[in-house]
Structure formats: C-alpha cells, structure tokens
Amino acid sequence: MMMLKWLLQNVGILFSLTAMLLTPFLCYAQSIAIKNNTLYDALLIPNLGMETKIGDRTTLDVEGTYDPITFPNKTKWKNWSVQPELRHWGCVPFFGMFIGINGMAGRFNLERIPVFNFYEKRMQGTFYGGGLTLGNHHIISPHWGLETKVNLDFIHINYSCYRCSKCGYKEENVITNYAGPTEVSISLVYIIK
C-alpha cells in the first residue's frame, strides 16, 4: 500500500524519466502525433497527448491532464491524471479503427461542484485503474486528423469528503470502485513524420 501511494505521488517524475529512457528506442518509428482533447478543453481542463508508432500496426499513446484552477466563484476543479495506452490498428497506425488497453492514475480536489449534492462539500483523493479503448482516426490532411474514442475502465477511487473547504472537518473516507465509461473524447491530432 505504501509503495502504491509513493507511485501515485511521483507518477509525473516516473513518466518523464520513462519517456526520456524510451525515446531512443521509439524514434525509429518515424511517426509521432501530438494531440489535444477538445472535450476537455470545453470543460477548461488543460490536456496534451503524444502517440508514437512502435510496430507495423501498434502505437503507444500517453495522455495527461493538469488543472490547478480555482474559479472566481470558489468552485474548485483541481486535478491531474496520466493515461498510457497501447493501441492495435486495423490496417496502419493513425488511420481508421483501433482497439487498445489503457491504464490511468491521478489525484483530484473538488469543491462547490454543482452536481450530485457536492456543492457544499469538498472531496480530495486519488484514483487508478485501467481497461479497454475503442476508437477511430479520421484523416483531415497529411498532417492533421480527428480522433474519436471511448474508454471502458475499472477504476479504484479513494477519497476523503470534507464538510466545507476551510473547516477541515472530515466527514468520511470513501473507498469505492467504478466500472463503466470513463472517457469520451474528440481530439485534434497533428502527425509529425
């Protein structure tokens, strides 16, 4: 449990080191894509992804989000997440249908969110899990594309619920699991060849 907690707290550093170590091995692929999920942009969640070809019909995709924002009305939607994904393409990478397996991990700190009776409470915690992805890449031009995908995952969530943001009174600790859709995305993709 202690090792898992350390991994969750240091996932950004571990991801960066892994990416630097693997870059010489992955660069032979000659196809790298940079992407941005437009649905996350609509929710004011900054995000960025990178995908690289690692085989004739496989790619490795890594996406991340980081949102440090507290809004003027004191609504807080702070979070970060990392989601690596191994994809298998129907014909060739970056064209048509793909299926994949993914993992995900992250932290959140939410306050005054106007859904599910969360408006008067604050929730802070971690999540991790993984599952399956189904998607399609639509070519717009030789370098630009539009990617749509749906993730179905099993997620373990551990969070604390506080009565208010400043009082520090912890009402409960919640450990729960979720199985179902976790992401629907429409991403703008730029392919570097």
The full set of domain ranges for the chain reads 2-192
Using pLDDT thresholds of 50, 70 and 90, give the confidence band for residue 24: very low
Strand 170-192 to strand 144-162: parallel, antiparallel, or no bridges (unpaired)? antiparallel
- Residue partners of 114: CB distance under 8 A and separation at least 6: 75
Which of residues 156 and 69 earns the better pLDDT score?
Answer: 156
Average of pLDDT values for 122-148?
Answer: 94
In 3D space, the residue among 100, 154, 86 whose CA is nearest the CA of residue 132 turns out to be 100
Lookup result for tokens 């619920």: 161
* Single-letter amino acid code for the residue at 14: L
Q: Which of these CATH numbers, 3.40.50.2300, 2.60.40.1220, 3.30.1480.10, 2.40.160.20, describes 2-192?
A: 2.40.160.20
Single pTM value for the model: 0.77
pLDDT of residue 32: 92
99: burial class by Cβ within 10 Å (0-12, 13-18, 19+)?
middle
- Using one digit for the tens of pLDDT, what is the confidence trace for 150-182? 999 999 999 988 877 666 777 888 899 999 999
User: Residue 62 — φ and ψ, nearest 5°?
Assistant: -130, 125
Average of pLDDT values for 60-65?
Answer: 96
Q: Residue 121 pLDDT > 80, yes or no?
A: no
